[in-house]
């Protein structure tokens, strides 16, 4: 078999989906109008699948800062910080992140994916162990693999399983890294962080929390689940991304351990890639300031999340267990999920279609991400469209079974 022949199974799976008349593979945003609206297939469409939790992508202050940086510092950095040096703005952003978290050390990466790769692979290497939640994001899986540590999974959010696995490790638990997410990206549930911190302290392990979906969303100051749960002191390192609530691209790690700085010297995803562009750095820094200064955005996000969650639940959808900015409707089959996703798009609603193998437990999901920028009218339209596709699918199922 040639190297290229192995793609035939993927081609076949893709073909099967296309034969159902739905093409989720090449969705193009023809024109972006606002944080919550775009033109797709020629129609104005409400976006409820873009992780734009605080709706900051069009904030005038961020745009202005970005434009100024572009004019003053150019379009790109053309190399890594280790080779080419840092721009002052990289250092400033790191100070701003460290200050935001009240921790002394922060490192900026070019994406959130690379932040996980960089931090996890630098912390846990050969001879060490990683215990990861089974529902972790792909960047966590890849970061765990990159360092060469032994990688074990514990059952999603199951502290008893985590405890059992740490106990079995004996002395090795002290050289074990536990990695969990604040809010899980697919189903929107949260890690039981207080219990996890207790266990990590008992076994003297190291705990990293990925707050990608909880930064700007949870906690009094928007620092995430660790803040909300009151356990920031018990977390060794927080990683996160700029690509969701901060509305740009990039990622970071932040920690109180003085040794954290040395990750720069050992982390391949930090050393061997170009540093973030000045315009991106500038808008991120402003967005961080907006999160600090505007708790009303977070309050609006939660109001909107409750409206959408209650609305979808009322129609009859089975949803992820917790109200939050990630609301996943569980659909009984992949075929139904495809048809409903297409039906929603035709009615001018864009959500994320999540089907196996990319989902936990082989689930098919229509995943919504709520924004503080959604208007009451948009939320009503989203709920009404979900109601329409729900009844279409149920009518179809009834006609097939009779
Ligand atoms: N961690 C989690 C939990 C995520 O969901 C994502 C992106 N969806 C990332 C990391 C990677 O972030 P980025 O898109 O900035 O690379």
Q: Which two tokens stand for residue 207?
A: 């705990």
Ligand 1 mean position, distance from CA 283 (Å): 18
Number of domains in the chain: 2
Query: Which of the listed residues 268, 293, 318 is the one where a domain comes to its end?
Result: 293
Can you list the alpha helix ranges (DSSP code H) found in 124-192? 138-147, 159-169
Q: What pLDDT is stored for residue 1 in this prediction?
A: 79
268, 121 in Cβ contact below 8 A? yes
How close is the Cα of 327 to the center of ligand 1, in Å? 17
116 alpha carbon – ligand 1 mean position (Å):
9
Neighbouring CB atoms inside 10 A of 378's CB total 19
Q: According to the model, what pLDDT value does residue 20 have?
A: 81
Reported as a single tens digit per residue, the pLDDT across 136-177 is 999 999 999 999 999 999 999 999 999 999 999 999 999 999
Is residue 7 assigned to a domain?
A: no
Please give the pLDDT value at position 395. Answer: 76
Residue 229: its pLDDT value, please?
A: 98
How much is the pLDDT for 398? Answer: 67
Q: What gap in Å lies between CA 106 and CA 109, rounded to an integer?
A: 10
Domain boundary among 233, 261, 293: 293
Instruction: Give the H/E segment covering residue 353.
Output: strand 352-354
> How many DSSP H helices and E strands does the chain contain?
15, 15
285 and 395 housed in the same domain: no
Give distance in angstroms: CA of 126 to centre of ligand 1. 25
Residues 6+ apart with CB under 8 A from 211: 181, 182, 223, 224, 225, 226, 238, 239, 240
> What's the CA-to-centroid distance between 167 and ligand 1, angstroms?
30
Do 75 and 31 share a structural domain?
Answer: no
The number of beta carbons lying within 10 Å of the beta carbon of residue 391 is 11
Q: How far apart are CA 277 and CA 71, in angstroms?
A: 12
Nearest alpha carbon, ligand 1 atom 1: 212
CATH number of the domain where residue 370 is located: 3.90.1150.10
- Which residue CA neighbors atom 5 of ligand 1 most closely? 185
Determine, yes or no, domain membership for 263. Answer: yes
pTM over 0.85: yes
Helix, strand, or coil (residue 97): helix
Domain-embedded: residue 332: yes
By most ligand atoms within 8 Å of CB, the mutation choice from 134, 135, 185 for ligand 1 is: 185
Residues 70 and 156 reside in one and the same domain: yes
Place of tokens 């959130």: 112
Q: Note whether 131 and 186 are same-domain residues.
A: yes
The set of protein residues with a Cβ atom below 6 angstroms from ligand 1 is 111-113, 116, 137, 139, 181, 185, 210, 212, 241, 243, 251
Alpha-carbon distance 73 to 56, whole Å? 23
Look up the domain containing 106 and give its range: 59-293
138 plus 270 within the same structural domain = yes
Residue 316 domain flag: yes
In a domain, 54, yes or no: no
**Model pLDDT, residue 247:** 98
If you measure from the C-alpha of residue 113 to the centroid of ligand 1, how many angstroms do you get, rounded to a whole number?
A: 5
- Do residue 149 and residue 275 come from a single domain? yes
Positive or negative torsion for Cα 343, 345, 347, 350: positive
In this structure, the answer to whether residues 42 and 166 fall within a common structural domain is no
156 with 252, same domain: the answer is: yes
Whether residue 309 is contained in a domain is answered as yes
Nearest-angstrom CA–CA distance, 251 and 91 = 14
> Is the bond preceding residue 69 a cis peptide, omega within 30 degrees?
no
Q: Say if residue 127 is in the same domain as residue 197.
A: yes
Boundary-marking domain end, from 226, 261, 293: 293
Closest CA to ligand 1's atom 12: 112
- 386 in a domain, yes or no? yes
For residues 375 and 381, the answer to whether their CB atoms sit within 8 Å is: no
Residues 259, 325 within the same domain: no
Which residues in the chain come in under a pLDDT of 70?
397-398, 400-402
The set of residues, in sequence order, having a beta carbon less than 8 Å from that of 308 and lying 6+ positions away, is 48, 327, 368, 370, 374, 379, 382, 383
Spacing, Cα 392 to ligand 1 middle (Å)? 34
Give the count of alpha carbons within 13 A of 18, CB side only.
Answer: 8
**Is residue 23 domain-shared with residue 164, that is, in the same domain?**
no
Taking the CA of residue 113 as reference, the ligand 1 atom at the shortest distance is: 16
Atom 13 of ligand 1, residue of closest alpha carbon: 112
Distance of CA 193 to the CA centre of its chain: 17
Q: What CATH number has the domain bearing residue 64?
A: 3.40.640.10
Residues 281 and 186 occupy one common structural domain = yes
What distance in Å separates the CA atoms of residue 368 and residue 351, rounded to the nearest whole number? 5
Q: What pLDDT is recorded for position 122?
A: 97
Judge contact between 175 and 189, C-beta under 8 A.
no
Q: How many CB atoms lie within 10 A of CB 193?
A: 24
Kindly give the number of the ligand 1 atom that is closest to the alpha carbon of 139: 10
Residue to mutate, 109, 112, 142, 156, ligand 1, most ligand atoms under 8 Å from C-beta: 112
- Whether residue 1 is contained in a domain is answered as no
Atom of ligand 1 nearest to the CA of 242: 15
């Amino acid at each position: 078999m040639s190297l290229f022949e192995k793609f035939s199974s993927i081609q076949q799976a893709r073909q099967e989906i296309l034969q159902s008349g739905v093409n989720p593979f090449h969705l193009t945003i023809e024109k972006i109008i606002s944080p919550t609206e775009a033109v797709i297939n020629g129609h104005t469409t409400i976006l409820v699948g873009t992780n734009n939790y605080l709706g900051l992508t069009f904030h005038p202050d961020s745009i202005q800062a970005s434009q100024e940086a572009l004019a003053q510092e150019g379009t790109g950095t053309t190399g890594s910080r280790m080779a080419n040096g840092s721009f002052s703005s990289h250092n400033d952003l790191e100070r701003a992140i460290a200050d935001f978290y009240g921790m002394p050390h922060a490192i900026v990466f070019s994406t959130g994916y690379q932040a996980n790769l960089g931090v996890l692979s630098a912390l846990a290497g050969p001879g060490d162990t990683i215990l990861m939640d089974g529902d972790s994001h792909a960047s966590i899986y890849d970061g765990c693999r990159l360092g060469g540590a032994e990688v074990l999974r514990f059952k999603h959010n199951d502290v008893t399983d985590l405890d059992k696995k740490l106990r079995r490790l004996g002395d090795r638990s002290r050289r074990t890294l536990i990695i969990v997410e604040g809010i899980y990206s697919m189903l929107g549930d949260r890690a039981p962080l207080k219990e996890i911190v207790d266990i990590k302290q008992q076994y003297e392990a190291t705990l990293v929390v990925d707050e990608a979906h909880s930064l700007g969303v949870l906690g009094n100051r928007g620092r995430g689940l660790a803040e909300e749960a009151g356990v920031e002191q018990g977390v060794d390192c927080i990683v996160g991304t700029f690509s969701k609530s901060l509305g740009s691209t990039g990622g970071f790690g932040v920690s109180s351990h003085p040794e954290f700085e040395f990750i720069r010297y050992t982390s391949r995803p930090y050393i061997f890639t170009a540093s973030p562009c000045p315009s991106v750095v500038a808008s991120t820094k402003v967005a961080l300031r907006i999160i600090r200064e505007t708790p009303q955005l977070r309050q609006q996000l939660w109001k909107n999340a409750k409206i959408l969650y209650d609305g979808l639940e009322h129609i009859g959808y089975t949803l992820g267990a917790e109200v939050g900015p990630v609301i996943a409707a569980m659909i009984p089959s992949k075929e139904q999920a495809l048809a409903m996703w297409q039906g929603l798009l035709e009615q001018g609603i864009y959500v994320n279609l999540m089907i196996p193998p990319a989902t936990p437990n082989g689930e098919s999901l229509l995943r919504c991400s709520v924004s503080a920028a959604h208007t009451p009218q948009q939320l009503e339209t989203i709920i009404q469209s979900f109601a329409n596709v729900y009844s279409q699918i149920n009518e179809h199922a009834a006609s097939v079974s009779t």
